């Protein structure tokens, strides 16, 4: 995938020197990767578990199995319609749930109950959490930290064209998927694949006729759907060019929400046309710094 990779290290080096010198940056914390998901230890209502860090989630969520296994008595305050990539369901929400993560102790409101697999997966942390910090994810070295917004000038240091989506508030990035063809994708650390994009984009570029396509099942938060996958010759994000990138599309007849794996239904503000998600298969090579609140992104190669 990285046979053809280019970029500059100047901004990244400056960024690391700046954040290392500041008390407003937390210590580096090791994370584990499971099926492409970033997981860190967390304590929820005095019970240890793991939190999945998902920049593509509009909400914070708690696992149904974690609640049941530990017989938690939480403060249920209502319901919310949650839209996954595939399907929509009504879910219970909770307020005042205490969590501890790194040096961060807080209480989360509007915490939505969803299915996150095995009961050790306690939480999914999305927009409501990431808005509080700048997040640094060092994928190759499997470590992360949080930096305060006043510690780094991300507007100056960004090297990827990115914005905060006007409708969801989540980070979106512009990528070049073929010569002269640029699209906007949600930067989604919760997507374990490479890219999930609109089927119409793939058809317009002739990929389904030219590339070897594999059909498989893909699990969303609410249901399982059929997808088609293939690898494209070249892909560009910021200053980097990558080869042989995995792309998935909904199978013909399938419908998919390509703007968030976990999002609350409601009115949307018209902004950029987001045509898919970008996930682990691309992100795994980089140290990524995300200013969720400002919509700024820096990508570099870690030491």
Residue-wise pLDDT for 37-64, tens only, equals 899 999 999 999 999 998 888 889 999 9
> d(Cα 236, Cα 238) in Å, to the nearest integer?
7
CB 45 within 8 A of CB 165: no
What pLDDT digit, counting tens, does each position of 202-259 carry? 999 999 998 999 987 666 544 567 889 999 999 999 999 999 999 999 888 876 656 5
Statement: residue 171 has pLDDT above 60: yes
Q: Which of 137, 130, 111 is nearest to 122 (CA)?
A: 111
Average pLDDT, the chain: 82
CA R_g for the chain: 19
Statement: residue 144 has pLDDT above 90: yes
Statement: residue 80 has pLDDT above 90: no
> d(Cα 233, Cα 244) in Å, to the nearest integer?
5
pLDDT value of position 87: 55
Q: What are phi and psi of 14, to 5 degrees?
A: -60, -40
Mean pLDDT of the region 117-122: 92
The residue with tokens 């059909």 is 215
User: Does the pTM exceed 0.85?
Assistant: no
Mean pLDDT of the region 16-39: 72
Mean pLDDT of the region 74-95: 79
pLDDT value of position 119: 93
pLDDT value of position 293: 87
What pLDDT digit, counting tens, does each position of 177-206 carry? 998 899 999 898 887 778 889 999 999 999
Tokens describing residue 54: 């998902």
Instruction: Determine how many CB atoms are found less than 10 A away from the CB of residue 114.
Output: 21
Tokens describing residue 70: 């530990």
Q: Which residues contact 251 (CB under 8 A, 6 or more apart)?
A: 215, 225, 226, 227, 228
- Residue positions counted in the chain: 303
């Amino acid at each position: 995938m990285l046979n053809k990779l280019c970029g500059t290290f100047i901004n990244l080096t400056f960024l690391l020197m700046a954040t290392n010198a500041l008390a407003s940056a937390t210590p580096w914390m090791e994370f584990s990767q499971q099926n492409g998901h970033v997981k860190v230890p967390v304590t929820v209502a005095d019970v240890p578990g793991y939190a999945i860090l998902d920049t593509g989630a509009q909400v914070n969520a708690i696992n149904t199995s974690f609640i049941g296994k530990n017989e938690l008595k939480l403060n249920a305050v209502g319901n919310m319609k949650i839209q996954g990539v595939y399907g929509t369901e009504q879910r219970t929400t909770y307020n005042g749930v205490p969590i501890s993560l790194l040096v961060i102790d807080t209480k989360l409101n509007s915490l939505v109950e969803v299915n996150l697999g095995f009961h050790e997966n306690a939480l999914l942390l999305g927009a409501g959490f990431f808005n509080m910090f700048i997040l640094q994810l060092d994928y190759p070295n499997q470590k992360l930290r949080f930096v305060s917004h006043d510690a780094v000038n991300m507007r100056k240091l960004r090297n990827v064209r990115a914005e905060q989506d006007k409708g969801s508030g989540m980070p979106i990035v512009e990528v070049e998927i073929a010569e002269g063809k640029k699209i906007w994708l949600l930067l989604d650390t919760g997507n374990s694949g490479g890219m999930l994009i609109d089927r119409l984009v793939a058809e317009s570029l002739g990929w389904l006729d030219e590339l070897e396509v594999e059909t498989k099942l893909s699990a969303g938060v609410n249901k399982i759907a059929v997808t088609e996958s293939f690898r494209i010759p070249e892909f560009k994000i910021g200053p980097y060019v990558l080869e042989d990138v995995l792309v998935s599309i909904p199978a013909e007849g399938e419908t998919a929400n390509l703007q968030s794996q976990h999002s609350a239904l409601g009115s949307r503000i018209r902004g950029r046309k987001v045509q898919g998600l970008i996930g682990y298969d691309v992100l795994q090579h980089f140290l990524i710094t995300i200013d969720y609140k400002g919509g700024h992104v820096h990508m570099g190669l870690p030491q």
